[in-house]
Chains A and B, each alone.
Chain A
Amino acid sequence: MVKKTVFLLLLLIAGARAGNLPLIGLDSKGNPTEITIHKNILGSKMKEAVGALSESTIDSLDKKKLSFYKVSIGTYVKMKLGLGSVITGTAEPYFKLYFTKKGN
């Protein structure tokens, strides 16, 4: 019985940790800060953010006649996390998106 409990406990801990990704940065006071987010949540929020950003960027690039053919946009994406309204936090992964004119 004890063996089973220990085994299950270990499995539970391992399961809870699996798939979690840490986000690391500095807060506004310059102190290191860390938050964990599940890879599936991060993946879907990133997809959503990249989709919206690329759509609006390409839309505005199409409207302007620009002489250059490469554009890069660096951005932090603020993601609200939490359980209901009690435990909330924000994650802000940083990434850059690259756009090129077709044919280049």
Chain B
Amino acid sequence: MIRYLILFLFFSTSTFAKEGHLAPYWFVDSDEKSFREDNLDSIDSFLKDYVESHESLGLNNEKAFDNSSWKFSGFQTSLALGLSGKLGIYSWGGTKVLEVDWTRKEQQKALEENVISFNESTTEESIDSQVKFIVGTMVDSGKVKNENLLSQGLKKTMKDFHILGESLSQMSFSGWRPNKLRLEMGIKATGKIVFGPVVKVGGDVRLRLEWKSTGLKKRVTKTSNKELKTFFEDMGDILFSSLPRYEKKGLSLSRVEIGLGLSAKGKIAIAELGGYGVPSVFFKKSENYNKIVKSEGLKGDILIMSEGQEKSFGKNRMFKVKKRKVRKGLKKAFKFSYKFMEKFGSKVSSRSQWKIKKIKSQFKFSLGGSLGPVKIKGTPHLALYFN
């Protein structure tokens, strides 16, 4: 009897305990040679069931829309990680670890969110006019009460954002280059602008600012920020030396989003995405993807900033991480995203009318400097986009 009990305990711990959980391998700074690489087999059945429950969404009532000028063209589902590393469907707020965009097989066009776009042609006057329009619309609809508070906050946020975008457009980079800035914000009913993760969006109005260079040369009088340029160059080198230069089959890594933070002394750091009212930056591969990163370029540290939801951070929001360690973490983040994508893709039936269009995976640095998939209570420092 004891023999069977031991057998039962063995089964219940070794077979089921890790089922549905990501292995600790993904959360620690591991010596790759001493670790047996995890192939995400523990989330295999979760993904199979998950895909099965989503594969036929929206297909049963399509005929009802035959006479309409609109169509249901896609959907996005999200996954979250519990504190123990358990993977599940994102619900009730918190932070997503993965976003999956599904589209109909014949569709290729990208879908845009509500975005306020900036580029070299944006002027102070055009910002003022946009602010006027947004404030007017929100006050008229009764969503915001304090017109002045919203107007002042929005104007300042949009102008600061534009200055940073203009500085960025003056710099030149190779390899992985910063090509877009993004700032996510929420507007409260009081007219107050909020940044960063919101437990649940609720009634707040969400706005996204995006600065993207059109390549147009413009004489900008603002002094270019040397600190900013050095940071972007360092990050470009780290990305270039950690991410694969070849294209694999299927979806490929198109962009890397990194949160930016500014210390009181003006130091730039990798920070949580959208956590500080400072935009995040998107890095994209240059078309001419040739670069030599000298080993000296990977010496030294890079600053990481954290809001400190983990108690261990205390008041020390900034910590130094060796560039080589960041590179190692990025390699692993890529490995995780790629393996996830392959596994997820393999669960979608070839007969399905939906296909995966885009996958976004989010990662967070720990105090020790390791980079792992973000858990439900954390805020990510970077995101990888595959499409």
Contact = CB atoms under 8 A, between A and B. Distances in A.
A82 interface: no
Contacts of A22: 20, 46, 82, 86-89
A24 B376 contact: yes
A10 to B, nearest CB: 6
Interface in B3-38: 4, 7-8, 11-12, 16, 19-20
Interface in A39-81: 39-40, 42-43, 46-47, 50-51, 54-55, 57-59, 61-62, 70-72, 74, 76
Interface of A: 2-3, 6, 9-10, 13, 17-28, 30, 32-35, 39-40, 42-43, 46-47, 50-51, 54-55, 57-59, 61-62, 70-72, 74, 76, 91-102, 104
A62 B70 contact: yes
A54 B93 contact: no
A25 B50 contact: no
Nearest to A19: B49
B73 A26 contact: no
Contacts of B88: 21-24, 34
Given A26-B376, A58-B68, A43 B111 contact: no
B69 interface: yes
Given A26-B377, A47-B60, A98-B111, A92 B94 contact: no
Contacts of B201: 74
Contacts of A43: 52-54, 56
Nearest to A54: B72
B244 interface: no
A101 B70 CA distance: 4
Nearest to B62: A54
Contacts of B45: 18
A40 B16 contact: no
Contact of B49 (A6, A39, A47, A101): A39
Nearest to B375: A32
21 contacts: A6-B4, A18-B45, A22-B88, A24-B81, A24-B90, A24-B91, A24-B376, A25-B94, A27-B92, A33-B92, A39-B49, A47-B58, A54-B58, A54-B65, A57-B70, A62-B69, A72-B76, A76-B91, A94-B78, A98-B74, A100-B71
A61 B92 CA distance: 28
What class of interface size applies to chain B in its complex with A?
35 or more
A99 B73 contact: yes
B366 to A, nearest CB: 17
Given A9-B8, A54-B58, A94-B78, 12 more contacts: A21-B88, A22-B46, A22-B88, A23-B90, A24-B90, A43-B53, A46-B54, A54-B72, A62-B70, A93-B90, A96-B76, A100-B73
Given A24-B80, A50-B58, A61-B70, A96 B49 contact: no
Given A50-B58, A54-B61, A95 B8 contact: no
Interface of B: 1, 4, 7-8, 11-12, 16, 19-20, 45-46, 49-50, 52-54, 56-58, 60-61, 64-65, 68-78, 80-83, 86-94, 103, 107, 109, 111-113, 199-201, 376-377
A76 B50 CA distance: 17
B28 to A, nearest CB: 20
Contacts of B8: 6, 9-10
A93 B52 contact: no
A91 to B, nearest CB: 6
Contact of B61 (A26, A42, A55, A104): A55
A95 B75 contact: yes
Contacts of A70: 111-112
Contacts of A55: 61, 64-65
Contacts of B58: 47, 50-51, 54, 97
Contact of A51 (B61, B77, B82, B103): B61
Contacts of B112: 70
A62 B11 contact: no
Contacts of B70: 57-58, 61-62, 71, 99-102
A28 B92 CA distance: 8
A90 to B, nearest CB: 9
